[in-house]
Structure 1
Amino acid sequence: MEIPYVVVATVLAAALVASGLGKLTRAKAIVDSMTRVGVPLRAFPPLALCELAGAAGLVVGIWRPALGIAAAVGVILYFVLAAGQHVRRKDIQGTPPAVVLLILAVVALVLRLVWS
């Protein structure tokens, strides 16, 4: 049964859409967190596009497992780098959200692999 993947993918996709839209609209909390670790404002649109593409891939991956796997791998790479940047800059506030999203992406990948 694919229900666990559907649930995790949907929750992660919603978080990615919220984060991507927050970057595009320059939400204060997101701008503060990302500029604190050295991300320039000009990088926000491409990063938002990565998150939105990841969200779309996870959702389409419900019906097309290969795309769900590829999207989960991409989201994992994105959040490995994000969490690494927060850790490197000793950003105690920004590290947990990145790590939680990383863990969700790993869970999505494992579930998609199990039920593909």
Structure 2
Amino acid sequence: MSTTAVVVTLVAAFMSGFSAVSVFTGAKWVVEPLAQYGVPRTWWTWLGVAKAAGALGLVAGLFVPAIGIAAAIGLALYYTGAVITVVRARSFAHIPFPVIYAAPAVAALTLGF
């Protein structure tokens, strides 16, 4: 695995992990938009768990590539769902936020192949 792939994977893992912690701690800048988008509060913990699992999977993928590829695919799908949720809520100005988190996950997936 190249140095670039390792760095991009670690950046993606850090960003997804940070996002998960932000949900778990109830960071205002994360949970207020979730409420505005109509995401039920009962889902918030599970969304954080999905991001945390993806972050851990990316790190594990440095040692077991199949796990990293699965984690990157999962995160890419997760953030695609986030974009769809933002669009459905008609919060078009917020579209860049899930895209910013998706970009390193997709790059890690691309570099992982």
Q: TM-score range by the shorter chain?
A: over 0.9
Structure 1 consecutive aligned stretches of length 4 or more whose deviation exceeds 4 Å: none
Q: Secondary structure at the match of 2:17?
A: helix
Residues 2-39 of structure 1 show CA distances to partners (whole Å, capped at 9, x for unaligned) of 21111111111111111111111111000111111111
Residues 53-107 of structure 1 show CA distances to partners (whole Å, capped at 9, x for unaligned) of 0000001111111111000000011001001111121213431110122222211
* Same amino acid, percent of matched pairs: 37
TM-score (norm 2): 0.93
Cα distance between partner residues in 1 of 2:84 and 2:30:
17
TM-score (norm 1): 0.91
Task: Please provide the CA RMSD for this pair.
Answer: 1.2
Alignment correspondent of 2:33: 33
Cα 1:85/1:34, change in 2 over 3 Å:
same
Number of residue equivalences? 113
Alignment correspondent of 1:85: 85
Alignment correspondent of 2:68: 68
